Amino acid sequence: MTLPRFLLLACGLLSGVVLAQSAPPTAAPPTATQSSAASARDAAALPAPDPAPAPALAPFVATYQVFSDGRRLGDASLRLLRLDDRRWRIDLGMAGSGLMRLTGLNVQQSTLFDSDGHHYRPLSQSTLRRVFLSSKRSTGVYDWVAGSARWDGDLKKSRRAPVPLREGDLSGLLIDLAVIRDAAPGRTLHYRFVEGGRAREHTYVVAAQTEGIEVDGLSYDAMRVSRQDGNDQTVVWVARGVPTPIRILQREDGDDGTDLRLVEYKETLQ
């Protein structure tokens, strides 16, 4: 997040909801000796359960507070809308408060995409960035028939050239949804980011163990998902049953930078 890269939100991730695994029914408690022996036998005999499958997409709206170096910069919102049976749109809005508006923290992004509920195919993408009295806008179209994507607007000339598409390519906002859909302890996730006239390979590593994280007074058993890009690191915390990232932290040269913290989320009808 040079300007906050929301997990790759291209201003800065990032939803298929991952269901929590349900525990098997238990019988009457055995003695301590029996319990220890049975646990050892079960651990040796049974393979680790596969992660619970992610359910289909569901519309939601989430609100974040944005911090940098411990200072409150403004607010952000992430909204997933269902337009018809297969078409969806995900919108990100970020706005600074007071003098922080001058930092560039005033961004709107959208990705229109096609989905069967689990797989995402971007159709178009737009970014509007307002800085003080000026604004910059770019729009892109993913032409899957032609096999290329092209952006125009306030971009460098080199960014207006067609970008060859591969099956599975995603915008920054769709990578956020994909991370939530795919994350499981110990996994490594690979995505190809195509946005703003460029394509990059992105790799995320999910920590082997979950960790407790508290955001705005609420506690979560979360998975820590990190991506390293040179001296920069993006860390995203996601939890099963929550359709949006709980926290997104951008680190630069080892120091904490932009930090998005979930305030609330709710499912919507559309």
| pLDDT at position 60 | 95
**How far is residue 93's CA from residue 104's CA, in Å, rounded to a whole number?**
12
β-strand partners of 79: 61, 91
**How far is residue 6's CA from residue 129's CA, in Å, rounded to a whole number?**
14
Domain spanning 54-267, CATH class: mainly beta
Select from 153, 144, 146, 99 the least CA-distant residue to 123: 144
**How far is residue 246's CA from residue 4's CA, in Å, rounded to a whole number?**
16
Domain boundaries along the sequence of the chain: 54-267
Please give the chain's pLDDT, 270 residues, in tens: 333 443 333 344 433 222 222 333 333 444 444 444 444 344 333 333 455 556 578 999 999 999 887 788 889 999 999 999 899 999 999 888 765 666 556 889 999 999 987 899 999 999 998 777 678 899 999 999 999 999 999 889 889 999 999 999 999 999 999 999 999 999 999 999 999 999 999 999 999 999 998 877 888 899 999 999 888 899 999 999 899 999 999 988 777 778 999 999 998 876
* Number of helices and strands in the chain (H, E): 2, 15
| pLDDT at position 7 | 34
Q: For the whole prediction, is pTM greater than 0.95?
A: no
Distances (CA, A) of 28 to 31, 40, 43: 10, 18, 20
